[in-house]
Amino acid sequence: MKNIEESRARLKGIFNITVTPFTPAGEIDKAGIARSVERVIGLGYDGVLIGGTYGEFPAMSTGERADLFRHVMDVVQDRVPVMLCSAGSDARVVRELTELAGDLGGLPMVTPPFVSEVTDEQIVSFFKDIAPVSKTGILVYNAPGIGITLAPDVLERLADMPEAVGIKQGDLSVTAIDRIANRLGGRIRLFCASDLAFLGPMMAGFDGISSTNSCALPELILETYRALERGDAHSARDLHRLWYDFRALARRHGQPQTTKAAMNLRGFDGGSVRLPLRDLPEAVKAEIAAVLGKLANEPSARLSLAA
C-alpha cells in the first residue's frame, strides 16, 4: 500500500492474525512464519496481521519487531494488505515502528500507550502525535486486554483524524458495538478484533474481522466468514457453532498457546511461545487433539488433520 487512500480502499474482509513461531530456544522461525502467511494467502484470506498481541510483540525487542515487519513484507509482496502492529508503551518505539510500517507499505496498528493512569486527553494527544508519521495512515486498536478500553466517544474523536484508516474494536459489548457501527460506519473502516464472537458486529455493519484461531482452523473460519459475507447467516451460525469446543479451550488455556498447539498437531508452523508464556502440557494437547479429531469428522468443517 502506498498511501492512506489505498489503505482505506483495501482494508476490509477477513485478516489472519499470524502467530509468531518461536524455536524452543526462543528464536523467531522466519521460514515458519513465511509458510503460515503463504497458507492463508493461498486459501483466500483478505489480509494478515503481523506482530500483534497474539503475535507476542510485548516479548520482542524493537529490533526483532522491525526485522519481522521487513521479512513478512518481503514475503507478501503486496498481494494482500498487511497490518503491522507498532503498539507499545514507549512513544519513541511506537513512533519508530509506525513510521517503518508505513514506509514498508503496511498499515500500522496502534493501541493506546499502556501506562498507568493515562487520561483520555493524553491518549488522544498520543494518537495525534503518532498518526502523521505513517504515510499509509494508522489503524486504531481498542484492546481491552492491555488494561485500557477506549470509550465510544474517544473513538469518535480519533476517527476524525485524517490519518485514521480504521478502528479494530476489541470491546464487544452490545452498546459499544451498536454505537460504533451506527455513528462511525461509512466514515472509517470497522474491524471486529475477536473471532470468538464476530457474527454480531458483522451483522451490525462492520467491515471485517481479524482472527487468531484461523491459524489453527483456517478453512473453517474462512468459510464461516464467507457465508456471512454472502448473506447466509444461518450457515455462518452453524459453522461458528462447530468450533465452540475449540473456543472454550482457547478461553481456558489462553491464546496464542492453544492456537500454536493446534497448529503443531496439524503439522503447521505454530512453534513455541516465548516467556513469560509457557507451552501447554501434554494433557491439554491431548484435549486439543480430541477436539480437532471431532472437527475432522464434520464434513462441513472441511478440516483435515493432514498438513
Query: Tens digit of pLDDT for each residue in 214-241?
Result: 999 999 999 999 999 999 999 999 999 9
d(CA 163, CA 14) in angstroms, rounded, equals 22
Mean pLDDT of the residues in the chain: 95
Residue of 141, 225, 260, 294 marked active site = 141
For residue 288, pLDDT over 80 is answered with: yes
Alpha carbon distances (Å) from 120 to 35, 71, 153, 158, 164: 40, 35, 10, 11, 17
For residue 7, pLDDT over 80 is answered with: yes
Residue of 54, 168, 225, 260 marked active site = 168
User: What pTM does this model have?
Assistant: 0.95
164: alpha, beta or left, given left = phi > 0 and alpha = psi -120 to 50? beta
What's the Rg (C-alpha) of the chain? 18
Residue 298 or residue 54, greater confidence: 54
Residue 168 is a catalytic residue: yes
Instruction: Quick: pLDDT tens for 150-189.
Output: 999 999 999 999 999 999 999 999 999 999 999 999 999 9
pLDDT of residue 306: 55
SS3 254: coil
For residue 301, pLDDT over 80 is answered with: no
pLDDT of residue 298: 82
d(CA 16, CA 221) in angstroms, rounded, equals 10
For residue 29, pLDDT over 90 is answered with: yes
Please report the DSSP string for 180-216 in residue order. Answer: HHHHHBTTBEEEES-SSS-HHHHHTT--EEEESGGGT
- Name the pLDDT band for 307 (thresholds 50, 70, 90): very low
Which domains can be identified in the chain, with CATH numbers? Answer: 4-232 (3.20.20.70)
Residue 45 is a catalytic residue: no
- Name the pLDDT band for 297 (thresholds 50, 70, 90): confident
Average pLDDT over residues 12-21: 98
pLDDT of residue 300: 75
